[in-house]
Amino acid sequence: GDRAATAAMARRVLAATSDPADRRSQLAQAFLAWATDDPIEAARGFAAVQPSAPDAPWWRQMVTIDAIIGAALAAAATGSAPRARAYLDRAAQLAAGQLASAPILIGHRVEAIATLRDRLP
């Protein structure tokens, strides 16, 4: 929920990537939109991030998980708690499938999902 930190990190990612079509760049742009209080543009950005194939390595799955978590944030920001919950359920499902591959990094996502779910009305 720290929009200032999110904006700063998103700007760092955008400065470090040269391909605007790169999924990480798209994800950073969407998080920047969320952090600067533009949830509609953020939702469009998160939806534009192509999901990883089910058999993709865990680090590619993390981009998909992060995009779904971002979509939940955007949905919550527009007042759609049911849609946010559905996104969080999907992110939790994907994260659970990857937990053994990168327990610390995926574990952080699992914790974030639980925290975001608890904050929904």
pLDDT in tens, 52-111: 998 999 889 999 999 999 999 999 999 999 999 999 999 999 999 888 888 888 888 999
User: Distance between CA atoms of 109 and 65, rounded to whole angstroms?
Assistant: 8
Task: Determine if residue 22 is left, alpha or beta; phi over 0 gives left, psi from -120 to 50 gives alpha, anything else beta.
Answer: beta
pTM of the model: 0.88
pLDDT greater than 80 at residue 3 = yes
| Predicted confidence (pLDDT) per residue in 6-28, tens digit | 999 999 999 998 888 899 999 99
Joined together, the tokens standing for residue 77 give: 């920001």
